[in-house]
């Protein structure tokens, strides 16, 4: 079907920043998100619809379906994706409105196959959820009431013809539709199912809608480029695209805090004008990733003053230079980031969309993601290619919090079609999203796809899908056309300085030799069932994925599972475990290191302790091996629904044990141990930008708290290094005695301030001689905060404090409590929460397997 040309995708001139509405402003906008209704096509029952939204969330709000995340409801809601859906709304247009030169109806996102009618005239047909559209619509509007109707075609039905034409089942193994139809549709891949995600193939107006009234001129786009940084002056150019409704002269001004930093006179012609406005920032304050310095941001207002009207657009930029160093070196091929000339170790996680229905994401929820990332000492998140190009607010927050964004294009774990229409559609998507995101200080790199090259080379797709030689050849040619030709060409054209590479990972984990090259997704642990210890052996140049699953904690599980289904293999729990071998793998690894848990709750709890323990081995091995290894991004930060998964934060925002462990392991200063048969070595890894002087105290004690060994050293920890500062023969530390009842504690202090401390055990948790602990808790409630002071008579391992139904996270949890040490933990208490109605409970590894 030919596309209706009256609608435009905005890739050619995607707006960046916010348009200011001044009195002489050339642009006025009107919010069009209210008053929408939705119905199933072919029926007559309109229901109120929220925009932005989806058909699923609209049905849920109207009480037409049950909560898709509860119980086994996912299975019962699969009919929705097969239907077509219609949205409508009416709005008023006045005589005055029609005096404006131009009126545009702007859709920031339509999911996905939409026919848009204004007053029953078809004005736009869309086929890509990642595009922003505008419709020049003045001619379709009338004074008085006007009507918009949007017909959303079932994404599955729409993809059928492309599938039939291609004659190929593409290898999208995560896609639960019969013929892997997702590959034909430019829509979030995770909507079709993933090994942590449900299958809800949505339709709807998923991003805001507005009307835009334009007079004389409009700034369509600004691209800001840092040219140089010499003698305390940062020189920039802003490439400004202005659409003018007539030939006119125009003054372009750039201002920071009302001060003019650049200006230019230009003669505009009717239509699109490309202008280049140089501007400077003198004595700039630099932007740094979190943990390296401050995140200074400059608001630059660009003003285009025409003969009668002015348009102003504001952009926020950071003064900083990124470099990805991915080149041959003495080991193989490096992969690391440099900011403002300084190499840094990337600490963070992979980010997936935070909800199956993204209209439920609020600014507060987005903010919480970054609060949680920074609280865990992260400086990088990878926006993974099976989700969406995130909302603007996501990147705004990343700028503010100092989280570098590794941005995948939205392609993951499958080959893709390569016909001209498909590639043309992708070109628009890519140009549009590059233009939208490229001015952000946080944007670190572009990556073509997630695990497509790796899948093609190693996952046996040719056999599983029985591809002929000819099909394999043309499929891979198609791959090259997209990821080796089109995408790099577009990045060069629209974001020249940003690093692009076609596919993450660069190397596969099947041989140790490959760990010397580029980035790695090491899945030997988990998918390959290798022991956690192998994280020490398989250390890459940059680890962009590695992970291990756990369950949410009991109080979270109870929100989506009925009381009678609270067992690991119940049908409901299985709907919320998407990895075919998930439960089996968790159990297997658990029994390697722990005694069998005595009940369901303890299983959930131990799964988290296990996940944190295993991942800690990896975090520390990566950091100890700096600068050979320069990054550790684990799989995965968050969940899109409540599920057993690799996440460190569950769907309800609760930190799993892993998130606390990541916070410890990603601290700028980390003490980490490496044990050989004869010797124990303590590394100190510092990501500080300056050396730190202090004392390292090493104590060995038994589980009753009796000190058996003590050493104190004054040391100077070098900035940005990993070095051994302490070593001792095992014999001295253990005195030839039982290694199963003692723990080593190392503390680094600067003056009285503890900068880091780490506990080290000489044996697997399973072999430790843990006693039933007596833990005392004193609770004080003050200033909307609950303070709990804990003491134990014997080592209480991975002590977890549970206060059901409470949102929010404790200042610490899942920690080891040593005898003789008091631990104070705090948690914010909302006014509505009645503590007396709930018990504070604790779980420990000591207790988890005891039957009495």
Chosen residue from 36, 133, 152, 196 binding ligand BMA by CB under 6 A: 196
Could you tell me the smallest distance in angstroms from the CB atom of residue 579 to ligand BMA?
Answer: 7
SS (H, E, C) 277-297: EEEEEECCCEECCCCCCCECC
Could you tell me the smallest distance in angstroms from the CB atom of residue 413 to ligand BMA?
Answer: 5
Of residues 57 and 450, the one with the C-beta less far from ligand BMA: 450
Q: Is 716 exposed, middle or buried (0-12, 13-18, 19+ CB in 10 A)?
A: exposed
Cβ-based neighbour number of residue 851 at 10 Å: 7
Of residues 505 and 694, the one with the C-beta less far from ligand BMA: 505
Q: What burial letters (b/e) apply to 529-563, b meaning 16+ CB within 10 Å?
A: ebebebbbebbbbbbbbbbbbbbbbbbbbeebbee
DSSP bridge partners of 343: 338
- 371: which 2 tokens? 């609060």
Strand 114-118 and strand 121-125: the pairing is antiparallel
Of residues 370 and 634, the one with the C-beta less far from ligand BMA: 634
**Which residues inside 645-674 make contact with ligand BMA, applying CB under 6 A?**
646
Using only C-alpha atoms, the chain has a radius of gyration, in whole angstroms, of 29
Of residues 411 and 660, the one with the C-beta less far from ligand BMA: 411
Of residues 528 and 820, the one with the C-beta less far from ligand BMA: 528
Could you tell me the smallest distance in angstroms from the CB atom of residue 352 to ligand BMA?
Answer: 8
H helices of 643-781, in order, are 657-665, 730-734
391 part of the interface to ligand BMA, by CB under 6 A:
no
Could you tell me the smallest distance in angstroms from the CB atom of residue 451 to ligand BMA?
Answer: 5
Give me the torsion for CA of 92, 95, 97, 99, rounded to 10°: 160
Could you tell me the smallest distance in angstroms from the CB atom of residue 468 to ligand BMA?
Answer: 27
Question: What is the rounded distance in angstroms from the CA atom of residue 659 to the CA atom of residue 694?
Answer: 28
Cis amide bond preceding 310, omega within 30: no
Of residues 151 and 641, the one with the C-beta less far from ligand BMA: 641
Chosen residue from 545, 639, 650, 847 binding ligand BMA by CB under 6 A: 545
Q: How far does CA 538 lie from the centroid of its chain? A: 25
Of residues 253 and 349, the one with the C-beta less far from ligand BMA: 349
CB 135 within 8 A of CB 150: no
194 part of the interface to ligand BMA, by CB under 6 A:
yes
Q: What is the DSSP string of 640-675?
A: SSS-SBS-SB-TTSPBPHHHHHHHHHTSSEEEEEEE
Could you tell me the smallest distance in angstroms from the CB atom of residue 384 to ligand BMA?
Answer: 6
CB 415 within 8 A of CB 461: yes
Could you tell me the smallest distance in angstroms from the CB atom of residue 195 to ligand BMA?
Answer: 5
**Which residues inside 627-646 make contact with ligand BMA, applying CB under 6 A?**
635, 646
Chosen residue from 55, 450, 572, 756 binding ligand BMA by CB under 6 A: 450
Could you tell me the smallest distance in angstroms from the CB atom of residue 505 to ligand BMA?
Answer: 9
Of residues 649 and 806, the one with the C-beta less far from ligand BMA: 649
CB 411 within 8 A of CB 470: no
Of residues 15 and 175, the one with the C-beta less far from ligand BMA: 175
Could you tell me the smallest distance in angstroms from the CB atom of residue 426 to ligand BMA?
Answer: 20
Return the closest-CA partner of residue 346 out of 655, 662, 629: 629
SS (H, E, C) 133-179: EEEECHHHCCCEEEEEEEEECCHHHHHHHHHHHHCCCCCCCCCCCCC
Cβ-based neighbour number of residue 714 at 10 Å: 8
Of residues 52 and 198, the one with the C-beta less far from ligand BMA: 198
Of residues 52 and 353, the one with the C-beta less far from ligand BMA: 353
Chosen residue from 15, 127, 429, 451 binding ligand BMA by CB under 6 A: 451
Could you tell me the smallest distance in angstroms from the CB atom of residue 65 to ligand BMA?
Answer: 27
Chosen residue from 159, 388, 413, 795 binding ligand BMA by CB under 6 A: 413
Of residues 444 and 582, the one with the C-beta less far from ligand BMA: 582
Could you tell me the smallest distance in angstroms from the CB atom of residue 768 to ligand BMA?
Answer: 30
Could you tell me the smallest distance in angstroms from the CB atom of residue 566 to ligand BMA?
Answer: 25
Could you tell me the smallest distance in angstroms from the CB atom of residue 445 to ligand BMA?
Answer: 17
Q: How far, in Å, are 36, 81, 130 from residue 201 at the CA level?
A: 21, 5, 15
Could you tell me the smallest distance in angstroms from the CB atom of residue 84 to ligand BMA?
Answer: 30
Could you tell me the smallest distance in angstroms from the CB atom of residue 258 to ligand BMA?
Answer: 46
| 60-68, 78-86, 193-201, 595-603 -> range binding ligand BMA (CB under 6 A) | 193-201
Could you tell me the smallest distance in angstroms from the CB atom of residue 350 to ligand BMA?
Answer: 7
| 12-20, 191-199, 397-405, 567-575 -> range binding ligand BMA (CB under 6 A) | 191-199
543 part of the interface to ligand BMA, by CB under 6 A:
no
Contacts of 484 (CB under 8 A, 6+ apart): 502
Could you tell me the smallest distance in angstroms from the CB atom of residue 308 to ligand BMA?
Answer: 53
| 64-72, 77-85, 190-198, 772-780 -> range binding ligand BMA (CB under 6 A) | 190-198
Question: What is the rounded distance in angstroms from the CA atom of residue 25 to the CA atom of residue 266?
Answer: 19
Residues in the chain: 852
Return the closest-CA partner of residue 430 out of 452, 412, 408: 408
Of residues 195 and 399, the one with the C-beta less far from ligand BMA: 195
Of residues 19 and 544, the one with the C-beta less far from ligand BMA: 544
Question: What is the rounded distance in angstroms from the CA atom of residue 698 to the CA atom of residue 745?
Answer: 6
Of residues 521 and 541, the one with the C-beta less far from ligand BMA: 521
Looking at 231-290, which runs of residues are DSSP E strands? 233-244, 248-256, 259-268, 271-282
Residue 577 three-state SS = coil
Of residues 635 and 666, the one with the C-beta less far from ligand BMA: 635
Question: What is the rounded distance in angstroms from the CA atom of residue 748 to the CA atom of residue 751?
Answer: 10
Looking at 730-795, which runs of residues are DSSP E strands? 742-750, 753-761, 775-782, 785-792
- 753: which 2 tokens? 């301030």
Of residues 85 and 646, the one with the C-beta less far from ligand BMA: 646
Could you tell me the smallest distance in angstroms from the CB atom of residue 387 to ligand BMA?
Answer: 10
Question: What is the rounded distance in angstroms from the CA atom of residue 282 to the CA atom of residue 662?
Answer: 39
| 140-148, 189-197, 721-729, 829-837 -> range binding ligand BMA (CB under 6 A) | 189-197
| 90-98, 188-196, 476-484, 778-786 -> range binding ligand BMA (CB under 6 A) | 188-196
Q: How far, in Å, are 161, 342, 539, 633, 665 from residue 623 at the CA level?
A: 50, 17, 10, 12, 9
How many residues sit close enough to ligand BMA to count as binding (CB under 6 A)? 10
Taking 3-state DSSP, the helix, strand and coil percentages for the chain, each rounded to the nearest 5, stand at 25, 35, 40
Place of tokens 């932005």: 52
Question: What is the rounded distance in angstroms from the CA atom of residue 649 to the CA atom of residue 659?
Answer: 7
195 part of the interface to ligand BMA, by CB under 6 A:
yes
112 part of the interface to ligand BMA, by CB under 6 A:
no
| 194-202, 262-270, 484-492, 724-732 -> range binding ligand BMA (CB under 6 A) | 194-202
**Which residues inside 498-527 make contact with ligand BMA, applying CB under 6 A?**
521
Of residues 298 and 509, the one with the C-beta less far from ligand BMA: 509
Name the residues that contact ligand BMA, by CB under 6 A.
194-196, 413, 450-451, 521, 545, 635, 646
């Amino acid at each position: 079907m030919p596309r209706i040309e009256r609608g435009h995708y905005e890739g050619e001139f995607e707006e960046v920043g916010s348009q200011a509405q001044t009195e002489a402003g050339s642009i006025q906008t009107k919010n069009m998100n209210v008053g929408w209704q939705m119905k199933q096509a072919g029926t007559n029952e309109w229901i109120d619809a929220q925009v932005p939204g989806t058909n699923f969330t609209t049905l849920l709000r109207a009480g037409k379906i049950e909560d898709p995340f509860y119980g086994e409801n996912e299975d019962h809601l699969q009919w929705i994706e097969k239907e077509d859906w219609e949205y409508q709304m009416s709005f008023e247009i006045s005589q005055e409105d029609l005096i404006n030169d131009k009126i545009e109806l702007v859709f920031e996102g339509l999911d996905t196959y939409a026919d848009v009618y204004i007053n029953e005239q078809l004005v736009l047909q869309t086929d890509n959820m990642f595009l922003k559209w505008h419709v020049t619509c003045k001619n379709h509007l009338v004074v008085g009431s006007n009507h918009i109707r949007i017909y959303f075609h079932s994404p599955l039905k729409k993809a059928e013809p492309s599938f039939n034409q291609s004659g190929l089942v593409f290898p999208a193994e995560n896609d639960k539709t019969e013929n892997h139809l997702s590959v034909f549709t430019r829509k979030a891949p995770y909507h079709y199912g993933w090994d942590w995600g449900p299958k809800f193939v949505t339709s709807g107006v998923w991003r805001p809608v507005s009307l835009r009234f334009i007079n004389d001129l409009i700034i369509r786009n600004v691209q800001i480029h840092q040219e140089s940084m010499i003698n305390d002056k940062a020189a920039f150019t802003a490439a400004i695209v202005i659409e003018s409704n007539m030939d006119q002269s125009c003054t372009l001004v750039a201002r920071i805090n009302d001060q003019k930093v650049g200006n230019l006179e230009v003669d505009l012609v009717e239509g699109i004008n490309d202008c280049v406005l140089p501007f400077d920032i003198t004595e700039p304050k630099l932007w740094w990733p979190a943990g390296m310095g401050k995140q200074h941001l400059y608001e630059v207002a660009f003003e285009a003053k025409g003969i009668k009207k002015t348009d102003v657009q504001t952009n926020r930029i950071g003064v900083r230079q990124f470099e990805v160093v991915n080149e041959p070196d003495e080991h193989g091929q490096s992969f690391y980031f440099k900011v403002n000339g300084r190499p840094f170790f990337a600490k963070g996680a992979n980010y997936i969309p935070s909800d199956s229905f993204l209209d439920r994401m609020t600014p507060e929820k987005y903010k919480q993601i970054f609060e949680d990332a920074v609280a865990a000492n992260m400086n990088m998140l990878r926006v993974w290619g099976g989700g969406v190009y995130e909302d603007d607010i996501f990147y705004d927050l990343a700028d503010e919090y100092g989280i570098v964004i590794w941005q995948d294009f939205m392609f993951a774990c499958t080959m893709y079609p390569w016909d001209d229409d498909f590639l043309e559609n992708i070109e628009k998507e890519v140009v549009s999203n590059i233009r939208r995101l490229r001015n952000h200080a946080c944007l670190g790199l572009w990556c073509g796809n997630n695990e497509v090259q790796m899948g093609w080379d190693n996952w046996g797709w040719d056999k599983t899908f029985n591809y002929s030689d000819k099909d394999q050849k043309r499929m891979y040619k198609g791959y090259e056309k997209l990821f080796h030709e089109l995408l790099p060409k577009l990045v060069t054209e629209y974001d020249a300085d940003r690093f692009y590479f076609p596919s993450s990972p660069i190397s596969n984990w099947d041989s140790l030799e490959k760990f010397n090259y580029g980035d790695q997704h090491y899945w030997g642990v988990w998918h390959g069932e290798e022991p956690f210890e192998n994280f020490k052996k398989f250390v890459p140049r940059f680890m962009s994925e590695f992970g291990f699953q756990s369950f949410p904690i009991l109080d979270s599980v109870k929100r989506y599972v009925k009381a009678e289904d609270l067992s690991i293999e119940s049908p409901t729990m299985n709907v919320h475990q998407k990895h075919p071998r998930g439960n089996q793998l968790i159990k297997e690894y658990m029994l390697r290191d722990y005694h069998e848990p005595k009940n369901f709750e303890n299983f959930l709890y131990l799964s988290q302790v296990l996940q944190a323990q295993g991942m800690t081995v990896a975090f520390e091995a990566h950091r100890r091996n700096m600068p050979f290894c320069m990054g550790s991004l684990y799989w995965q930060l968050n969940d899109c629904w409540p599920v057993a998964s690799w996440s460190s934060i569950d769907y309800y925002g609760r930190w799993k044990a892993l998130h606390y462990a990541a916070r410890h392991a990603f601290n700028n200063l980390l003490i980490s141990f490496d044990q050989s048969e004869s010797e124990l070595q303590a590394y100190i890894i510092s990501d500080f930008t300056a050396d730190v002087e202090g004392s390292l105290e090493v104590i060995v004690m038994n589980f009753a708290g009796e000190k058996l060994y003590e050493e104190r050293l004054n040391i100077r920890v070098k900035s940005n290094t990993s070095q051994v500062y302490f070593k001792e023969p095992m014999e001295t530390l253990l005195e030839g005695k039982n290694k199963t009842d003692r723990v080593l504690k190392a503390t680094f202090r600067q003056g009285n301030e503890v900068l880091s401390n780490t506990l080290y055990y000489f044996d697997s948790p399973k072999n430790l001689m843990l006693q039933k602990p007596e833990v005392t808790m004193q609770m004080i409630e003050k200033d909307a905060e609950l303070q709990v002071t804990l003491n134990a008579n014997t080592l209480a391992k991975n002590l977890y404090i549970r206060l059901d139904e409470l949102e929010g996270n404790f200042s610490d949890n899942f920690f080891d409590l040593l005898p003789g040490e008091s631990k104070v933990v705090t948690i914010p208490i909302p006014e509505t929460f009645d503590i007396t109605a709930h018990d504070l409970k604790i779980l420990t590894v000591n207790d988890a397997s005891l039957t009495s």
